[in-house]
Structure formats: C-alpha cells, structure tokens
Structure 1
Amino acid sequence: DILVIEECCDQEQLDKFNKQWLKGAYETVIVFPSNTDRHQSLALLAKPGFKVVEKKDQYYTEKDPGGGNERGDRLFARGPAFCKVQSPTGYTLWVGVTHQKSKSGNNVEVTKWRKRESARTHEIMKELEKTGPDDVILLGDMNDEFGIQEYELEAGGDAIGDLVGSPADGFILATKPLSDAARISFGGYWKPMYRSFIDHIVISKGMKDQVEQVDVVTDGLAQAASDHYPVYIKIKSDPATQPTR
C-alpha cells in the first residue's frame, strides 16, 4: 500500500516509471528534497485511497550540531522526510523514510556524524508522536547494524541504539528479530564478504500491537534488482477515531 525508496531517481523519472511500467499502480508519487550529492533521493509512493495530508520534508536543511562534516554544515546526509498518511478507513499515521551516511570511508568522525543523524531523527519521531497522530513509523537504509560495530566504541555507542532511543521513549526496532536471526538486507555488490542487515524499521509504542509481519524479500528479482533487499512491515491498523459531537 505504501512504498518508500532510498537511492531513488528524480520526480520526473519516478512519475514516468509509475505510469509506464507500473501502469499507474500508485496514486501518490513523491520525491523529497534532500542533501544528496549523488542523485540518491528519498521517495514515497501510495496506492489509491491512501492520502498524504501533511508533509514534513525540510529536516534536510538543519545545521549539524557537531560543527559540520565532510559535506558541509548540514546534519543529514540525505533525509529524513515524514508524511502524515490517511488510509481508506480514516486511520492516520506518520510514515518516514531516511538514508543515513554510508560507511564508505568510515572512521570515528564519520561514525559520530551518523550517530548525530540517528539522535536527531529519534528526536523528530518523538516530536511527531507528541504532535499526533501517535503512530509513527520510520523505514530506511540506516547504514548500520544493530549492536556495536567498527568505530562505534570510540564514537560513543551504537547508532541504531541512538535511533531507537531509551526504553522510556517506547520506540521499537521492528526489524530486530530479523537481525537476531542473521537475516540480511544488504547483498554487498554480490560479494560474499559484504552481508549485513542495515535496512531497519522503527515504530512508536502505539504500533506494537498492530504489527502482523516483518520480513525481507530475498528471492526472485530481488536478487538482481539491487544490492539491497526489500524490507517490509504489515500492520493491521487500529480503528479510526470517530469525531465526537
């Protein structure tokens, strides 16, 4: 019903792809503005009946509180962007997509930068949850596995931990069972030495009981279409709140 994409093409090309190859399967097609320097945009597509009623896509302009990074003075390598989406039944939620700094040229400073991205994205999710609706979901290429990876001890801890936040905040790493089971979402340029789970889904506490399935598609065309595999979540939404009189 809702598809988010990292490393997407521009708006004109995505519109054409949806029309020509997907036969207009998606009614809503959005490519978000971002800080990408390699035409790796973020996008959201939604099927008929799903309406974007609000967009929050200017986070990419925020300054880096760490004093800057190798790309300049902006915090985010690309995103994030969030949309308030209303389903055909009237249920609304915030749907976000992001693509954090890659591990290309990774070192302590790059890791600290990725951790700053994670920490601020967590703050944004808390802000949206407070504003309402309180169902918030973030999907994307976080370029980091759950747990301590190279340089993270020196940098101050796990970037995914920063993204999810403290237990008191109530956010949940919905993809953790896949990571724990040694599943992979990154095929690593078809080289066996690169196999990891770096494409994650984070949900707010209000969505915990709505999750029916979380999985990754690794068969069929997924093996050839990208070096990343599609990760998805299936939810059974709460009934829409009816207005009171």
Structure 2
Amino acid sequence: MKSFVRNPFRLVCLLIAAAFLVMVTSVFGADRRPNKATLTIMTLNTEFMWDGVEPEEGQPNFDWKHSETEAAEHMAEIAEIIRAGNPDIVNLVEVENKQAVDKLNADYLAGRGYQVYFKKGKDTYTGQDVALLTRIDPLVFDRDDGKGQSGNVVKGVSKNLYATFTIGNTKIAIIGLHFLAFPNAEYRRLPREAQADLICKRAKKLFDDGYLLIILGDFNDYDGEEGNRDHIDSMPVTNVLSMIKQLGTGTPGDDLFNAAQLVPKASRYTAFWDQNHNEHIEADRELTSIDHILIANGLRERVELVDIPHNHDPRAVTDHFPVVVRLRCEDETQTGTLLIVALLPNPPGKDIDKETATIRNVSQQAINLNGWKLRDLSGKTWSLSSLGMIQPGAEKTITRHGQPMSLNNDGDTIDLIDPDGDVVDSVTYGPVDEDEVVIRGN
C-alpha cells in the first residue's frame, strides 16, 4: 500500500478538496427533483401513521394500532396519495416517529428521491409528530421549542418544524405545524393564538434572514378572510390565520396569502369530521378547511397550480385531504436527462395496442434507453428498451403493443424510471377524451 505521508503536499490537497466538498454540500444541499423547473409542495395529515411495532407511542387507540399488518395497509394508502401528487417536499402530520416515516419512504416510496427529516416533538399524549419528506436537502432543519402568548395564556407548539433551502437564487423557508384541535371551541382560542404567536416569531426571524416563507400544516382552524373561506363559509373563533398571514408586524412586505384562494370554492375542504359518528359524510357541515399552505407574496407570481385532490374516502384512509402547490422556479435551468412530453391514453381503437408515450432527451448527450421504463401508480410498466439510442434534443414515441401498463382514461401518474430504478420524471393527468393528447404542462 502506498503511503500518503511520502507526499505530504498531495495529502494536504486531498484534505482541502474533501473539506470543500463537505462545505459545498452543506451550503447548497443535494437536489434530487426530477424536474428542476418546478417545486411542488404538499401538506398531508396522515391520521395516525404508525408502524404497528411495539412499544407504540401515545395513548389514543385506533383500528390499526398494535397491528403491523393493518398499519402497513394504512401506510401504503398514505404512500399512494403522495405518489399521486408527486411532490418534491411533503409536510407529514400525525406521524408516530422517525422509524415510521423511514418505513414509509423505504417500503412504499423507494426510488423517488426522498430523504426523511424528523425531530422528536413533545406531544406525549397523542404521540403524534410532524416530519418532512424532501427531494431537496435543507440547509437548516430544526424545531422551535419556544413559547408564544395570547392574553394571559403562554403556550408552545408541540408539533412543529422549520427548514431552509436555497433553490437557484431563491431562499425559501418552510415551517410545518400541527396546532391544537377543536376549531370551534372557545376554550382553545387563546392557546391556539399563543401557538400562532410563536410561529410568527420564528417566521419573522427567517424573513429577516432573507427567506421567502411557506407555512403549512394542520392549523385546526378556519380562514375567515373573504375569498379564502371554505365551501360552507366556516368562520373561526380565533385570529390564528390572520395573525400568521400578517406575521403580527403590520408590515405588508412580509405578508403571506392562503393558496386556497386559488382553488374553486366548491372544492375548498381538507378535512372530514364525523360529528354524529354515523359513518355518513354530511358535506354541508362535516367537510371543512383546516389544513392550509400560506405562501409569501413574493412567490405569488410563481404559483402554477393549487389543488386539494379529493381522491380517497376520508372514512377509510385518512380523514384529511392533501393540499398541493406547484411553484415555477424561474431561475432554474432544466438539468434533467429525459422528460415525458406527451401521452395518448385514449386512442381510437384498442387501448392495449395503440396507447403511446413520447420521451424527449433534454441532456447534451445521446442516451441508450435500454433498461429504461415507464411505470404507473399500480406498479405496472412499459419497457423503453426497444427505442434504442435517443440523441440530444430528439423525441421518441413508444406504442403500448400489449405491454402491461395501461394509461388510464380517467387519469393517472406516470413515472419515467432509469436503469438504476430512480424516478427521473413524472407526469400526472386527469380524465381524457378519445384521441386527446396529454401535453406536458397541460
């Protein structure tokens, strides 16, 4: 074995290079987004996402507690919601611990570029916590153990996190939270406002450090501002949402807006509460909006999409629906390799023979498509190996010809998978008419 001691100059250079690499990684963080031109963010209350492994945390009981099999089924359904939204950053609410989130990521979201970020909270009664799944490694990840005040009540936020990112030339800070329950209870007004006061303090510090803010999670409260109200005009008993949107400073420059205002009012509901325990959904009083994504006004023009997809039964999976926001990253260049640019899910004739997908090479070099494939939410695939080489800037179209995966006519999410099993690109679309081509971005 050669000794580096014989060449001390070489050893010093290697040590400097290693230190530089560590510094660069810590300053910028890894970015595993398949599409660098956008940033998609989701908040999702998972309703007790436990792993069923003893000893389990918290005192409340629920159907899948103490059962690894039933807990795994619940976790798989949560993963399906995440896959459908294909977010780059997910704020997860009501998770048990890091072990549970690691299991979600490893067993049900493998190959999608996520890393788990988790700090233990202080809710010992429910055992619930919040966590981040993210394709972009944060520069800072922490929680705020301070306290806020409203009236004579001093209160902390047992379930919160914050993370900072630099994306291109934009500094973004995310605060994830889960506030005290019972939106309509007057006795919770001051405690929840005290929690909001703490979040305002943390947000103001981040704003003063030059970050554009995104504050999201289960606020357990309504937004009473005209234009933001949910589909049944639920009105809050607190000032929680108005406090956080204004950060309590009276300075318009640091204000945030509720992304829900960009969702049609009829679709503005994020949670189901079975008030009379009859297992029926009474939409006019049991579906409300208590989960929110608040966004800095400085990011308003970058918002491409806001959605509250209602694609699962809240009585069977989780009693909350996800909120999804997609932002345009104006100062980013496309650094991916291949993109899905068009799909034909409903061709004239037999779908099994004539469905097509078109791939574009956006890199600067030719790529051999041997081992590449397309995959839908059910896990079925099309092989792209028959397409051979694809040159820079070129497009190639694959026809189904009996392959197992179906481009569902009522909507689906299609992933582009490289030979290592990593998701390189993903496209989600809704219902399509016959001979309608799904074009990327539509």
Change (3 A) 1:173 1:123: farther
Q: Deviations over 1:17-53 (max 9, x none)?
A: 2111222424310123222231211010112xx1211
Q: Could you tell me whether the CA contact under 8 Å between 1:146 and 1:179 is conserved in 2?
A: no
Q: Could you tell me whether the CA contact under 8 Å between 1:18 and 1:24 is conserved in 2?
A: no
Q: TM-score under structure 1 normalisation?
A: 0.80
Aligned twin of 1:3: 90
**Identical positions, percent:** 21
Aligned twin of 1:85: 165
Measure the CA separation in 2 of the matches of 1:211 and 1:101: 29
Shift of 1:107: 3.5
Shift of 1:122: 2.5
Aligned twin of 1:138: 215
Q: Could you tell me whether the CA contact under 8 Å between 2:215 and 2:294 is conserved in 1?
A: yes
Q: Could you tell me whether the CA contact under 8 Å between 2:218 and 2:291 is conserved in 1?
A: yes
Which amino acid counterpart does residue 62 of structure 1 have in structure 2? G
> Is 1:30 aligned to 2:117, yes or no?
yes
Change (3 A) 1:179 1:101: farther
C-alpha RMSD of matched pairs (Å) = 2.7
Which runs of 5 or more residues in structure 2 are unaligned?
Answer: 1-87, 226-233, 333-442
Change (3 A) 1:150 1:211: closer
Shift of 1:77: 4.0
> Is 1:230 aligned to 2:327, yes or no?
no
Q: Could you tell me whether the CA contact under 8 Å between 2:150 and 2:191 is conserved in 1?
A: yes
SS in 2 for 1:175: helix
Which amino acid counterpart does residue 307 of structure 2 have in structure 1? D
Q: Pick one of 45, 56, 80 that aligns with 2:142.
A: 56
Equivalent residues in 2 for 1:34-113, closer than 5 Å: 34-37=121-124, 38-47=126-135, 50-57=136-143, 59=144, 61-66=145-150, 74-79=155-160, 81-87=161-167, 89=168, 91-103=170-182, 107-113=185-191
Measure the CA separation in 1 of the matches of 2:264 and 2:220: 13
Change (3 A) 1:158 1:64: closer
Shift of 1:182: 5.5
Shift of 1:150: 6.9
Q: TM-score under structure 2 normalisation?
A: 0.46
Equivalent residues in 2 for 1:177-216, closer than 5 Å: 177-178=262-263, 180-181=265-266, 183-189=268-274, 191-192=281-282, 193-216=285-308
Change (3 A) 1:238 1:33: farther
Change (3 A) 1:108 1:187: closer
Aligned twin of 1:164: 245
Which amino acid counterpart does residue 6 of structure 1 have in structure 2? V
Aligned twin of 1:217: 309
Answer 1 or 2: which has greater strand percent.
Answer: 2
Shift of 1:187: 1.8
SS in 2 for 1:52: coil
Measure the CA separation in 2 of the matches of 1:108 and 1:64: 18
Which amino acid counterpart does residue 44 of structure 1 have in structure 2? L
Which runs of 5 or more residues in structure 1 are unaligned?
Answer: 241-245
> Is 1:123 aligned to 2:208, yes or no?
no
Larger Rg over CA atoms: 2
Shift of 1:175: 1.7
Measure the CA separation in 1 of the matches of 2:186 and 2:175: 27
Q: Pick one of 247, 261, 264 that aligns with 1:176.
A: 261
Measure the CA separation in 2 of the matches of 1:174 and 1:217: 14
Q: Could you tell me whether the CA contact under 8 Å between 1:35 and 1:78 is conserved in 2?
A: yes
SS in 1 for 2:270: coil
Q: Would you say how many aligned residue pairs link Structure 1 and Structure 2?
A: 225
